[in-house]
Amino acid sequence: MATDLTREQEIIQLPSDQDASGRDMGDDEIVKLVEAIESGTLTSTKGKFVQNLEKKFAEILGVGSVFACSSGTAALHTALAAIDPEPGDEVVTTSITDMGALTPILYQSAIPVFADVDPQTYNITAEAIERVLSEKTKAIMVTHLFGNPANMGEIMELAQSREIPVIEDCAQAFGATYRGKPIGTFGDIGCFSLQQGKHITTGEGGMVATSDAKLARRMFLFINKAWGYGDSRPDHYFLALNYRMNELTGAVACAQLEKLAEFVDRRRQIAARMDKGLADLPGISIPRVEPDGVHTYWKYCLHVDSLAFDGGLDALAGQLRERNIFCAPRYIQKPAFECEVFTKQCTFGNSRFPFTLARAEAIDYRKEKFPGTYAALASVLVLPLNERYTAEHVDYVVDTICKVATDLQKASS
Ligand SMILES: *Cc1c(COP(=O)(O)O)cnc(C)c1O
């Protein structure tokens, strides 16, 4: 029998990453922002903030080049444009990711081919990637979902053996490492997002990172309408957009970047406290991390055995939400390929391009091909988390989950 928890436990307000309660920003950002405004130079082609940001982030990652851009989506688009697939070429990616990782593939006239995910880590695996590789595979895009590194050892071994470039989507994985090396430096290009809810933020913004000089050159150009800044005879060399970050954003990003290590540290401490409090709860598993991975918890995800609870995952989530824990059962609700852009092939006019170029197998989204994806979405409970959670907040979340889970525990289990 469910008890009325509201009577026994005070409901508290958790800090939110959508406003000042859960975002650590203030004087440091303001000082730099004022400096940018007073300089009168708001374009990164002339200013210093975006340049500084790029230089500092390249140092942090230990890569040759970083370029800032207007969003994480722009970063992924830039990365793929640098690889420059032929129309109809295929990019292997994951069924559980942000749409911003997928639409750039279509904009570059390539076909996203979905690999299934590991139902425990929610990440794609080398094995699943290998199953969908074809003659037309031009790139592999790996999302390190929720801040949990994918198994880059196996994935890079596969990619290198087939000479297929890898783009790492690190939008959720700032500060994560694998075998001691930063995520985003295993593949050919790493992409990051500075969107409101990410580890560090400027509201919108993105960055691409690489140590490959040729890719770096093409990414720089793609962000700049392919205009050859600094060349003796500059021209617009190829089809490209203006994806530049402006100096106002760059100023805030510089201040945020200085706090990244501290934010990552706090997130890891918060997650460790959650792990400790939730480790032994029947029917619920704490996040599973690859043995060589360091997770930086963009979100904290529980793996819930729906059958163990009355009303399953939804009842559990509903009760937590009633207590101000705004968790999301099923994360994105459905695999990316069930969205209309894929099911109705809504692209350019009525052309359905580039789907018209796709192999039938590449755009066959039958459920039975994705058992891991459906199992993952049916069991994942995404809990919010940010750098301003105190020990008291964490304990509230842990205690509430324990109480709700115990109440809903099926009598038989
Ligand atoms: C946020 C996100 C993106 C897109 O970044 P935006 O800055 O929102 O455009 C891409 N991939 C993943 C995994 C994300 O979480």
Contact 104 CB / ligand 1 (< 6 Å): no
Residues of the chain with CATH 3.90.1150.10: 260-332+374-412
CATH 3.40.640.10 domain residues, the chain = 27-259
User: Residue 98 C-alpha to ligand 1 middle, in angstroms?
Assistant: 6
**Is the CB of residue 93 below 6 angstroms from any atom belonging to ligand 1?**
no
Cβ atoms of 108 and 83 within 8 Å: the answer is no
Q: Of all atoms in ligand 1, which is nearest to the CA of residue 143?
A: 13
pLDDT of residue 2: 46
Q: What are phi and psi of 47, to 5 degrees?
A: -85, -175
What DSSP state is assigned to residue 318?
H
Does an H or E element contain 293, and which? strand 293-294
Token pair recorded at residue 241? 């957009």
Q: Among residues 323, 390, 371, 326, which one has the least CA distance to residue 131?
A: 371
Extended beta strands in 148-245, E state: 166-169, 177-178, 181-182, 189-193, 206-210
Per-residue pLDDT tens for 187-241?
Answer: 999 999 999 999 999 999 999 999 999 999 999 999 999 999 999 999 999 999 9
Spatial separation of the C-alpha atoms in residues 399 and 315, rounded to whole Å: 17
* Cβ(319)–Cβ(327) below 8 Å: no
CATH of 27-259 among 3.40.50.970, 3.40.640.10, 3.40.50.300, 3.60.20.10 = 3.40.640.10
Question: How many Å lie between the centroid of ligand 1 and the Cα of residue 101?
Answer: 7
Each residue of 90-138: pLDDT tens digit? 999 999 999 999 999 999 999 999 999 999 999 999 999 999 999 999 9
**Which residue in the block uniquely carries the two structure tokens 């969107």?**
195
Q: Could you tell me the pTM of the whole model?
A: 0.96
Test site for ligand 1: of 95, 98, 296, most ligand atoms within 8 A of the Cβ: 98
Indicate whether residue 100 lines ligand 1 (CB < 6 A).
yes
Provide the pLDDT confidence category of residue 1 given band limits of 50, 70 and 90: very low
Whether 169 lines ligand 1, by a CB cut-off of 6 Å, is yes
Q: What is the DSSP string of 108-174?
A: TT-EEEEEPB-TTT-SB-HHHHHHH--TTEEEEEEE-GGG----HHHHHHHHHHHT--EEEE-TT-T
Q: Is the CB of 143 under 6 A from ligand 1?
A: yes
Q: In whole angstroms, how far apart are CA 19 and each of 26, 53, 299, 326?
A: 12, 23, 17, 14
275-304 tens-digit pLDDT: 999 999 999 999 999 889 999 999 999 999
Active site residues: 198
pLDDT digits (tens, 9 = 90+) for 345-393: 999 999 999 999 999 999 999 999 999 999 999 999 999 999 999 999 9
Q: Provide the mean pLDDT of the chain.
A: 95
**In the chain, % of residues over pLDDT 70:** 97
Taking the CA of residue 74 as reference, the ligand 1 atom at the shortest distance is: 9
Band of residue 413 on the pLDDT scale cut at 50, 70, 90: very low
Is residue 177 lining ligand 1, measured as CB closer than 6 Å? no
Enter the tokens of residue 17.
């990453």
The model's pLDDT over 236-271, given as tens digits with 9 standing for 90+, comes to: 999 999 999 999 999 999 999 999 999 999 999 999
What is the fold of 260-332+374-412? Aspartate Aminotransferase, domain 1 (3.90.1150)
Distance, in Å, from the CA atom of 307 to the CA atom of 313, rounded to the nearest integer, reads 8
H/E stretch holding 324 reads none
Task: Determine the atom of ligand 1 nearest the C-alpha atom of 194.
Answer: 7
CA–centroid distance, 79 to ligand 1, in Å, is 14
